[in-house]
Amino acid sequence: MRTSATVPFDELSDLLASTGARLRPGQPLAELTTLRVGGPAVVAECRTTDALVATVGALDTAGIPVLLLAGGSNLLISDDGFPGVVVRIAAAGVELGTDSVCAEAGAVWDEVVAATVSAGLGGLECLSGIPGSAGATPVQNVGAYGVEVAQLLRRVRILDRSSGAIDWVLPEDLGFGYRTSVLKHSDAAVVLAVEFELDPSGQSAPLRYRELAQSLGAEEGQTRPADLVRATVLRLRAGKGMVLADGDHDTWSAGSFFTNPVVPHERASAVHAAIAAHVGEVTVPSWETPEGIKFSAGWLIERAGFGKGHPGPGAPARLSTKHTLALTNRGAATAADLVELARAVRSGVAERFTVELEPEPVTVGITV
């Protein structure tokens, strides 16, 4: 397999001339990710689905490595960049139905949510304020405030890279789990569009997250108008530095960097014992799941000695000053700085509580 470093840019231009992609050599990938780190690469921007399909097909046929990138909100890219072609997914059409929304993969996710709420459609409001693209949401089964994409997804339009076939795929074929699917960590398919089934009454999804329900003066399981829930979610997320803002370095992140760990039932007592040994007999935030006991990653991180803002002022990469689950770029961090911090947090939690935290972002050219 070749890399773009061994393919002259003129040859790449000829290869992709008929695809409709716009080529940019030496594009700093830090400019295309919410963590704002990542070295240079050749970027092929595809503003239509046809251009996306043609570009990926041409590069695959030529044996040139491809990195798919849209909103860049769940990526940690090496300071060396990417040695192939970064295909920027920028097709952003959104079509509203009477009880649904269909969005092309490059549509800005929060704009999709806002459009559904404005149209009087309920269901996606708890996923307000999440950065990234619509096409990324089924890949990692995006979720927040008690709602996951898998609960509302009607179908996904996918390009099979091995055959070139384009088909609509149903949710039951995507192997959804906690922040994962068969699409994650796989290059076999490209998401082209997503379609969600929504509530035409304008009511929210049942409220399952205690903090959100309490903020709305509701009981868990009740619903509220979708526009009211969206406004409340945006306020709660902003208070945690989880709504993108150029001037707020707490938002220069990939969101929650670690998933909440699920410990098998047979190991849960040992974890509780380790917690008791280090922090005393306390009530530990945890939830029963079919796979085991899910613990709060943020709680474990803080009790392991990594408080908000760790390791302190002056560090290029720090935990958010608003909550401990986000690793942030304070303005001049490199990917290496973020990896160093992530490894320190992971090893500290494992040493104290015998729990291995798993990173949520996809890493490119680097290992946490």
Phi, psi of 231 (to 5 degrees): -60, -40
**Sequential DSSP letters for 163-179:** T--EEEE-GGGS--BTT
Identity of the amino acid at 110: D
Q: Is 360 a catalytic residue?
A: yes
3-state SS assignment for residue 114:
helix
CA terminus-to-terminus distance, the chain:
25
> How many whole angstroms separate alpha carbon 79 and alpha carbon 41?
11
Pick from 155, 148, 158, 169: which is nearest to 100 by CA?
155
Catalytic residue among 256, 286, 303, 346: 256
3-state SS assignment for residue 195:
strand
Catalytic residue among 161, 179, 303, 346: 179
Q: How far is CA 138 from CA 134, 150, 196, in A?
A: 8, 7, 11
Pick from 266, 356, 344: which is nearest to 305 by CA?
344
Q: Is 162 a catalytic residue?
A: no
271-277: Cβ within 8 A, 24+ apart? 271/295, 271/353, 271/354, 271/355, 274/352, 274/353, 274/354, 275/303, 275/353
Token pair belonging to 352 = 């104290």
Residue owning tokens 């700093």: 28
Q: Is 197 a catalytic residue?
A: no
List residues with catalytic annotation.
179, 256, 360
